[in-house]
Amino acid sequence: MIRVDSIEALREVRHQWRMEDQKVGFVPTMGNLHNGHLSLLDKARERANKTICSIYVNPLQFDRPDDLANYPRTLEKDLAKLEEIGADMVFCPTDEHIYPRGMEHATTVDVPGITNVLDGAHRPGHFIGVATVVCKLFNMVQPELAVFGEKDFQQLLVVKRMTADLNLPVEIVGAPTARESHGLAMSSRNNNLSTEERAHGAWIFKTLQAGAKQLLKGERDFQSIEKTQIDTLKAQGFDPDYYSIRRNFDLEVAREDDETEDLIILVAAQCGKARLIDNLHLASYS
């Protein structure tokens, strides 16, 4: 596995691969890798000749300084995992590479509309940080395709829209959410949970399943379903930001005449020291 830290070194290898007509699949991460991240690399490997993973904790997408300071950084362990699964390259840029004039002077990317709801409403500026760093990484890595996990579904839609709007020549591939055995969605933030909290976090997926069952039975009182499951989360000790039934193609609030397979339920809730997010597509649930 090749490790590069500079854009120049990245482009040198990338140029050689292009000369060899190698198709590159890219997985951008903030490190602290778990099996969910590794499954994204597997998906990239299925569709490309070479795989690149980036590890960069992006300050611009954090809305709280303490959250950025506490984000787990495990570079050496991450490199060992990537080596073991056979990643071809890992790109580990610094803040100076990503924001050479500093974040306060950086050109940013804003994807309007879709970033103003759900996590966008609760984390001001978050998706500007996401869209900006992903756009920059795409320009640096120049992959043919990039893989993103569906756990961060709003992020996936933001990246898809940004890529289309800016005419970037990158195919965006979504990968199913990887889960613990009890249903909790895998996340780097799960490291902030105690053993008991990690097991208790499975309640988030249970509320998604409960809401999905009602919708599949034909229930269309969306607000009642949302309130019931928010109350369930509160009763279980969570502090929910939202539990929302939306259309899966634009994140608009669900309407009574929407097809069931076009609906998705999204949730975000605080559990101990960790803010957990998850979602469930009705089309993939039975």
Catalytic site includes residue 37: yes
Catalytic-role residue among 15, 34, 37, 182: 37
What one-character-per-residue DSSP string does the chain give?
-EEE-SHHHHHHHHHHHHHTT--EEEEEE-S---HHHHHHHHHHHHH-SEEEEEE---GGG-SSHHHHHHS---HHHHHHHHHHHT-SEEE---HHHH-TT-GGG------TTTTSSTHHHHSTTHHHHHHHHHHHHHHHH--SEEEEEGGGHHHHHHHHHHHHHTT---EEEEEPPPB-TTSPBP-GGGGGS-HHHHHHTHHHHHHHHHHHHHHHTT---HHHHHHHHHHHHHHTT-EEEEEEEEETTT-PBP-TTS-GGGEEEEEEEEETTEEEEEEEEGGG--
Q: Would you name the residues annotated as active-site residues?
A: 37
